[in-house]
Structure formats: structure tokens, C-alpha cells
Amino acid sequence: MKLLTKSIRRKLPALLEQDNKGDEAIAYVKYFTPWSNLSWFAIEFDGDDTFFGMVSGDYIEYGSFSLPELEAISGSGGLKVERDKFFIPMSLGRIKKMLKSGP
């Protein structure tokens, strides 16, 4: 699976474009590990290989993560990080509410 398509690349704002928006910042793409509860929500992109966004696992944190880093992660049986093809861009606040309420 291609993690970063040309279409997603065009949609992602440049780094710092959503600075100071807090929970109103929009995540445009979601990556996840199918074998665990880790998810990455990208809100900005440097145009090369670095994202800024929210990472959700046992807790939520914000920071940078890179495309090569995501591509290098593998789980048992050779599973890889996947892009949620059905993810609809939404605010970080809405994502956090959904994560709290569960599936």
C-alpha cells in the first residue's frame, strides 16, 4: 500500500500552517498498525518526508514523524503500517472524542 499518494500530498498543509489551531486543526490522513492500537494523524507535511500531527496509542501525543519511519515499522508476520483508505479529514478534537468513545 502506498502510504502517501499525490492526492494526499497536495491536500496536506505545509508545516506550521495549522499552528495554534489546537483541536480545530484538521487531520488529512490516518496511518495505523493493524496489529496494535497505534495511529498517526497527519495535519501538516514538509513536502518531502516529514509530517506533524497527533499520535494515538496508550495515550495521545503530538510531534513529527517521517514517511521512512512509518514504512520501516513492521509487525509479526511482516505486517506493515497502513493508510486508512476510508478516513475522512476531520478536526483533532473530533478524533479525540471518537477515540474516547471507542468503536
Q: d(Cα 64, Cα 88) in Å, to the nearest integer?
A: 21
Q: How confident is the model at residue 101 (pLDDT cuts 50, 70, 90)?
A: confident
Does 103 have pLDDT greater than 70? Answer: no
What pTM did the predictor assign?
0.94
**Per-domain residue ranges of the chain:** 6-101
